[in-house]
Structure 1
C-alpha cells in the first residue's frame, strides 16, 4: 500500500472518530437534560462516576476479544495496537447507521498494513460471537417471562451453554476464537452488573437478592442485544429502553427504571469516551504490527 493511500485511510479513520465525538457530545447533552438531578445525592453521583470508569475499563475486554480474532487470522499485533485501534474507533458507534465504528476500525487497520479482507472477517466474527453471547444471557430472563421458572436453573443453563459454546469453538475453530467469545461474555456480565448496581443506588428500598441481580442484569443484556441487531439504531438508542421497560415491568417502578435508563446511557457514553481518551494516549511506539503485509 502506498504512503498516500495510508495517509488517506488514516484521515478517514480519524475523521470518523471525530464525528463520533460530536455525536457523543449531543447524546450527553440530551440525556443530561432529561434527568432530575435534584433527586440524586452527592454520594450517589460519586458512585455513578465510579460505574462510568468501570464501564470504560470493561471496554478492554472487547478490545482483547478483537485482538484474539486478529490472532486467529494470523495478524501478529501487540495488545496495545489492538486496544488503540479499537478504542479510538469505538466512539463512532453513536453515529446514526450503527456501522461507522467498524468503518473507522477498517480504515485505521488498513492504514497500518492489515489486509481489508482480514479486518472485515474479524468484524463479522466479532458481531456474530457477541450476538451469540448476548443470546445465551437470555436464559436469565426466563423467570420474567415464566414466573414459575427457577432463577437458579436459568443461571446453570447460562453457565452450561457458555461452557459448551467455548468448548466447541476451541475444538472446531480454534482457541483464539473461544478466548474472544469468553472475553465478550465477561464484558456483558460487567455491563449487566453495572446496570443492576445503578438501579440499586437509585432505589435504596429495592429488595436485592442474587436472583434480582440475575434478572435485572439478564434483562439489560437482552435489551442490549436487541439494540445491537436493530439496523440504523446508533448504539441501540431507543430499542434498549423499550425492551427494558417491557421485561422489568412489575419488578421495578417505571419512574426508577426510566431514571436508571437515562443514567445508564450517561454511564456508557462517559465510559466509552474515557476509553477513547485512554486508547488515544497510548504511545504509537508501543502499537506495532509484528508482521507486515503487502
Structure 2
C-alpha cells in the first residue's frame, strides 16, 4: 500500500481533473456566454468577505480546542497562526498546514503531543460539522452512510476515546528513570486528561461550515437567481463536496475533488454551465480569501 499510495494520489487527482475538463468542454459555449454584472460583483464581494471571516473564525475555534486540551491561548494568536499556515495546505502532501500549526504551538510553550492532538481534532470536528450540515440541509441519498460516519467521528472525539490515546503517548514519550522501590510517590502526568466533550469547538465548526456554505451560495447567486428552497440543496451539496475534498488523499486543498463532487451533485438541479462556472469562481474566491487572511495575519504579526 505504501508503494501504491503515490500512484493512488495521482490517479485521484487525474481522474477528477479529467471529469472537470470533460464537463467544461461539453458546456464551453454556455460557460462563455455567462456575463457578470454590477450586482453579481457585489455578491462576489460578499462571498469573499464571508469566506475570509470563516477562516478567521475557525482559527479562533482552534484556540478553543487547545483550551479544551488544558492549554488555553489567545484567540488572536490562534487565528493569526491559523491564517498564516492555512495556505500551506496547497503544497504537495496536504499536511504542511497542520505541521506549521503544531510547531507554532510548540514554540508558544504547548507540548508537541497536545499541539499534534489539536491539529488532529480540528479536521475531525470539521468533518462532523460537515456531515451534520449535509444531513440537515439535503435530502440526498446515502444518509445511512453519513449517519455512520458522523457516529464514528463523534465517538472518536469523546474523552473516553481520547484520554487512553493521550496516556499511551505520554508513556511512550516518558524517559526511563530509576525509581526507588520503596518510594510511593506518583508523579503528576505531563498531559492532563480531557474532562469535557468538545461541544463548543463542534458548535464553532458548525458555524464555520455555515459561513463557508453561505459564501458558496452567494457565489452561485452572482451567476444565477436562486430560490429560498434551493438554499438547503446548495448547502448540503457544498458540505459533502467540501468534506470529500478534506478527507480524500492526493488533492491538496481539496482541489479537483471539491469541484468534481459539487458538479456531480448539482448537475441535475442547475444548468451544467452555471455549476461549472460557480465552482470555478468559488475556488478563486476561496483562494483570494486565504491569501488575504495570510497577508492580514502577517501584517498583524509585524506590529506585535
Greater shift in the superposed pair: 225-234 or 135-144: 135-144
- Name 1:196's counterpart in structure 2: 217
Q: CA deviation at 1:284?
A: 6.7
Q: How does 1:282-293 map to 2 (within 5 A)?
A: 282-283=300-301
- Name 1:102's counterpart in structure 2: 98
Post-superposition CA distance 1:188-236 (Å, at most 9, x none): 01111221222122013x4x02x31011111001100001001121111
Greater shift in the superposed pair: 276-285 or 40-49: 276-285
| TM-score (normalised: structure 2) | 0.69
- Name 1:131's counterpart in structure 2: 127
1:88 counterpart SS class:
helix
Q: CA deviation at 1:138?
A: 2.6
2:258 to 240, 243, 246: 240
2:110 pairs with 1:114: yes
RMSD, aligned α-carbons: 3.1
Post-superposition CA distance 1:139-161 (Å, at most 9, x none): 14652449xx9xxxxxxxx9xx9
Q: CA deviation at 1:71?
A: 0.6
* Cα distance between partner residues in 2 of 1:253 and 1:268: 22
Q: CA deviation at 1:107?
A: 2.1
2:95 pairs with 1:74: no
1:225 to 243, 251, 274: 243
* Cα distance between partner residues in 2 of 1:127 and 1:83: 16
Q: Which has the higher helix share?
A: 1
Contact 1:98 1:233 in 2 (8 A): yes
- Name 1:177's counterpart in structure 2: 198
Contact 2:237 2:265 in 1 (8 A): yes
- Name 1:186's counterpart in structure 2: 207
- Name 2:232's counterpart in structure 1: 214
- Name 2:178's counterpart in structure 1: none
Change (3 A) 1:285 1:259: closer
Unaligned 5+ residue runs, structure 2? Answer: 1-27, 162-193
Unaligned 5+ residue runs, structure 1? Answer: 1-33, 150-157, 287-294
Change (3 A) 1:97 1:37: farther
* Cα distance between partner residues in 2 of 1:99 and 1:65: 19
* Cα distance between partner residues in 2 of 1:176 and 1:111: 27
Larger radius of gyration: 2
* Cα distance between partner residues in 2 of 1:126 and 1:54: 20
Q: CA deviation at 1:112?
A: 2.5
- Name 1:56's counterpart in structure 2: 52
Post-superposition CA distance 1:40-81 (Å, at most 9, x none): 123322331231122111112211211011111221321111
Please identify runs of 4+ aligned residues in structure 1 that moved more than 3 A. Answer: 34-38, 168-176, 283-286
Contact 1:68 1:176 in 2 (8 A): no
Contact 2:102 2:112 in 1 (8 A): yes
1:143 counterpart SS class:
coil
Post-superposition CA distance 1:108-150 (Å, at most 9, x none): 222222221111000111121111111122314652449xx9x
Contact 2:134 2:235 in 1 (8 A): no
* Cα distance between partner residues in 1 of 2:77 and 2:41: 34
| TM-score (normalised: structure 1) | 0.71
* Cα distance between partner residues in 2 of 1:235 and 1:75: 28
* Cα distance between partner residues in 2 of 1:268 and 1:37: 24
Contact 1:220 1:244 in 2 (8 A): yes
